[in-house]
Amino acid sequence: MRSAAEAAPSFLYLPALRTLGERFTLEGEEARYLTRVVRARENERVTASDGSGHVAVLRVERARPELVLVLESAREHPRPPSARLICGAPEGERGDWLVEKLAELGVTDLDPVDTERGRWPAGRDGRWERLAVAALRQSRSAWKMAIHTATGLSEAMAAARERTRWLADPDGAAASRLPMAQDTVVAAVGPSPGFTEPERKALRGSGFEPVRVASYRLRTETAALTVAALWAAARSPAGDVGSGPEA
Amino acid sequence: MRSAAEAAPSFLYLPALRTLGERFTLEGEEARYLTRVVRARENERVTASDGSGHVAVLRVERARPELVLVLESAREHPRPPSARLICGAPEGERGDWLVEKLAELGVTDLDPVDTERGRWPAGRDGRWERLAVAALRQSRSAWKMAIHTATGLSEAMAAARERTRWLADPDGAAASRLPMAQDTVVAAVGPSPGFTEPERKALRGSGFEPVRVASYRLRTETAALTVAALWAAARSPAGDVGSGPEA
């Protein structure tokens, strides 16, 4: 939810932001959003992110007939510590809102994996990208969640370099505490019928620790979301929720 | 996700379970589910919950032409400590999956509240009840989430008896730790344009502590879900995730 106090100025996603210069004409979807939806006026300020750490404050020099923006200031935000979800396919259309929620909660990388018991539907890339962009706008983020092409589990495991590794597992041990704010983290969540035993064994062999994140049996997308919510809380600055005695 | 090891027997929701006796004929939706979807056979065992703490193991004595079930054993599960969400209206159709996810994560009571800046759509009661029942089946719970009729904020605050009180607030302080497993908890989450300042003041006056649950700006339904995920983790038994040093 948004408090009244922070009714915020418009937020644009401009992947080419770094190369646009001090004054530029903007066309396309973001320009339409600014002139037709928000109805931005001359001298109004807007914020823009390239989704890769570059955030700028822009001033509307002219709104019509063309939208001309002037760069007022810019800032680089360091890449946040990696928070990766390796996720099997949920049921039906549940992948769409999973993508939206993971992006909103600050997951940095989503690796959809095709497993023995579940394959992701093809042709969702464009839609997922739009959901990730909408989440970036909503959360006013410097970084956009990267959604990787669906691969097999072994490829996803090989690509994971994160230090803390969870295998979301209703039969796993409860984790003793949340990861620290600066930990790099990865979690593997099975498709709706679950990982097979060989898949679980491979994950455990790669250092993925079976962790139960709730005392309830959760659907794929709920388990993934719960992991992301726990990580988001752990990364909330200063006096973290549940960060434990070391904080 | 569900692991292969616990591919579980069928789970029925029978609100009248306590009164059905030692042997009974079952009709209606749950009977159709058992005979047509699951295709349960004679002597198969199924579990049933009344959503109010009573869980029984039943044996299929006869599947056709009528479904006759025999009570094998029953158990009472104590009511879990209250975990209540007072929630303003999210955008569009997002309320549906909010209901599903809160129920799945073990929230005990959902109080939809109509506020200055957001009202819940009418006529969703039947649909929400079905979603809560589906979540009960999914999580094999003894207790079904209670979804109360939408009221005003002051009525909802007056009804809340829980000890730990959060006001989900992006400008709030981070909570120092998760609630203990046995705490009764309530959180208030604003509608998508946020609570008004007088509403926030009333909540703070009622002991609702402004708590930031993530360092991102979250949509209404994401904030509610994040709170529920944190509570679910705190209630996960033995060596709770993030329960802090007292655990």
Residue B175 is predicted with a pLDDT of 65
Q: Is residue B127 one of the residues assigned to a domain?
A: yes
Residue B191 is predicted with a pLDDT of 96
DSSP string, B99-166: HHHHHHTT--EEEEEEBTTB-PPSS-HHHHHHHHHHHHHHHT-SBPPEEPPPEEHHHHHHH---SEEE
Q: Is residue A1 one of the residues assigned to a domain?
A: no
Contact B107, B228 (CB under 8 A): yes
Q: Is residue B179 one of the residues assigned to a domain?
A: yes
Q: Is residue A155 one of the residues assigned to a domain?
A: yes
Of A105, A230, A243, the CB nearest to B233: A230
Over residues B209-223, the pLDDT tens digits come to 999 888 778 999 999
**Does A241 sit within 8 Å of B243, measured CB to CB?**
no
Domain extent at residue B188 = 83-235
- Our CA angle for A98, A224, A135, nearest 5°, is 40
Nearest-CA residue of chain B relative to A188? B1
Contact B217, A2 (CB under 8 A): yes
Same domain, yes or no, for B98 and B204?
Answer: yes
CA distance A95 to A88: 10
Q: Which among B60, B76, B92 is the end of a domain?
A: B76
Over residues A185-205, the pLDDT tens digits come to 999 999 999 999 999 999 999
Q: Residue B216: its chain A contacts at CB < 8 A?
A: 104-106, 139, 141, 232
CA distance B108 to B215: 26
Of B212, B218, B244, the CB nearest to A104: B218
Say how far residue B102 (Cα) sits from the centre of its chain: 5
**Does A216 sit within 8 Å of B104, measured CB to CB?**
yes
Interface check for B232 against chain A (CB to CB < 8 A): the answer is yes
Same domain, yes or no, for A161 and A43?
Answer: no
CA distance A236 to A27: 36
Q: Is residue A107 one of the residues assigned to a domain?
A: yes
Residue B93 is predicted with a pLDDT of 82
Same domain, yes or no, for A111 and A193?
Answer: yes
Q: Is residue B240 one of the residues assigned to a domain?
A: no
Same domain, yes or no, for B107 and B220?
Answer: yes
CA distance B103 to B113: 17
Q: Residue B170: its chain A contacts at CB < 8 A?
A: 1-3, 6
**Does B213 sit within 8 Å of A234, measured CB to CB?**
no
* Average model confidence (pLDDT) across chain A: 88
Interface check for A92 against chain B (CB to CB < 8 A): the answer is no
What does each C-alpha distance from A235 to A46, A178, A184 come to in angstroms?
A: 27, 10, 11
**Which is it for strands B23-26 and B67-76: parallel, antiparallel or unpaired?**
antiparallel
Residue A247 is predicted with a pLDDT of 28
Least Cα distance to A241 among A85, A231, B217 occurs for: A231
Say how many domains are in chain A.
Answer: 2
Share of chain B above pLDDT 70, in %: 91
Contact A119, A146 (CB under 8 A): no
CA distance B232 to A223: 11
Q: Is the confidence at residue A6, as pLDDT, over 60?
A: no
Q: Is the confidence at residue A241, as pLDDT, over 70?
A: no
Probe site for chain B from A227, A241, A243 (most B CB atoms < 10 A): A241
> Which residues make beta-bridge pairs with B210?
B167
> Whose structure tokens read 């959760």?
A218
> Whose structure tokens read 């009804």?
B159
Q: Which among B58, B76, B94 is the end of a domain?
A: B76
Over residues A21-73, the pLDDT tens digits come to 999 999 998 999 899 888 889 999 999 999 999 999 999 999 989 999 999 99
Over residues B133-182, the pLDDT tens digits come to 999 998 899 999 999 999 999 999 999 999 999 999 988 887 656 777 78
Interface check for B118 against chain A (CB to CB < 8 A): the answer is no
Same domain, yes or no, for A148 and A227?
Answer: yes
Over residues B8-24, the pLDDT tens digits come to 578 999 999 999 999 99
Same domain, yes or no, for B125 and B211?
Answer: yes
Q: Is residue B242 one of the residues assigned to a domain?
A: no
For residues B48 and B216, the model is more confident at B48
Of A3, A242, A244, the CB nearest to B230: A242
**Does B177 sit within 8 Å of A243, measured CB to CB?**
yes
Q: Which among A76, A106, A127 is the end of a domain?
A: A76
- For A:1-20, CB contacts with B below 8 A are 1-6
Residue A117's identity, in one-letter code, is R
Same domain, yes or no, for A19 and A139?
Answer: no
CA distance A244 to A234: 9
Least Cα distance to B228 among A48, A230, A186 occurs for: A230
Interface check for B164 against chain A (CB to CB < 8 A): the answer is no
Over residues A200-218, the pLDDT tens digits come to 999 999 999 999 888 778 9
Q: Which residues of B121-159 are buried (b: 16+ CB within 10 A; e: fewer)?
A: eeebeeebeebbbebbbbbebbbbbbbeebbebeebbee
- Token code pair at residue A64: 């019509």
**Does A106 sit within 8 Å of B216, measured CB to CB?**
yes
Say how far residue B30 (Cα) sits from the centre of its chain: 20
Of A105, A192, A197, the CB nearest to B1: A192
Interface check for A222 against chain B (CB to CB < 8 A): the answer is yes
**Does B105 sit within 8 Å of A226, measured CB to CB?**
yes
Same domain, yes or no, for B68 and B95?
Answer: no
Say how far residue B117 (Cα) sits from the centre of its chain: 25
Q: A93-97, A243-247, B189-193: which has the minimum mean pLDDT?
A: A243-247
Q: Is the confidence at residue A242, as pLDDT, over 80?
A: no
Task: Classify burial at A192, counting beta carbons within 10 Å of its beta carbon; exposed 0-12, middle 13-18, buried 19 or more.
Answer: middle
Predicted confidence band at A180 (pLDDT cuts at 50, 70, 90)?
confident
Q: What is the domain-level CATH number for residue B167?
A: 3.40.1280.10
- pTM comes to 0.86
Tell me phi and psi for residue A182, to 5 degrees. -95, 0
Share of chain A above pLDDT 70, in %: 91
Same domain, yes or no, for B156 and B229?
Answer: yes
Over residues B55-72, the pLDDT tens digits come to 999 999 999 899 999 999
**Does B105 sit within 8 Å of A1, measured CB to CB?**
no
Share of chain B above pLDDT 90, in %: 71
Same domain, yes or no, for A127 and A164?
Answer: yes
Nearest-CA residue of chain A relative to B2? A194
Residue A237 is predicted with a pLDDT of 64
Least Cα distance to B102 among B233, B228, B230 occurs for: B228
Sheet holding B54-62, edge to edge: B11-13, B45-49, B54-62, B67-76, B23-26
Q: What is the domain-level CATH number for residue A47?
A: 2.40.240.20
Of B173, B200, B241, the CB nearest to A178: B241
CA distance to partner chain B, nearest, from residue A157 (Å): 18
Same domain, yes or no, for A103 and A223?
Answer: yes
Residue B177 is predicted with a pLDDT of 67
Same domain, yes or no, for A42 and A106?
Answer: no
> Whose structure tokens read 């396919």?
A89
**Does A195 sit within 8 Å of B213, measured CB to CB?**
no
CA distance A70 to A29: 18
Least Cα distance to A231 among A192, A170, A182 occurs for: A182
Q: Is residue B120 one of the residues assigned to a domain?
A: yes
Coil, strand or helix: which one is B225?
A: helix
Residue B174 is predicted with a pLDDT of 77
Of A174, A176, A216, the CB nearest to B106: A216
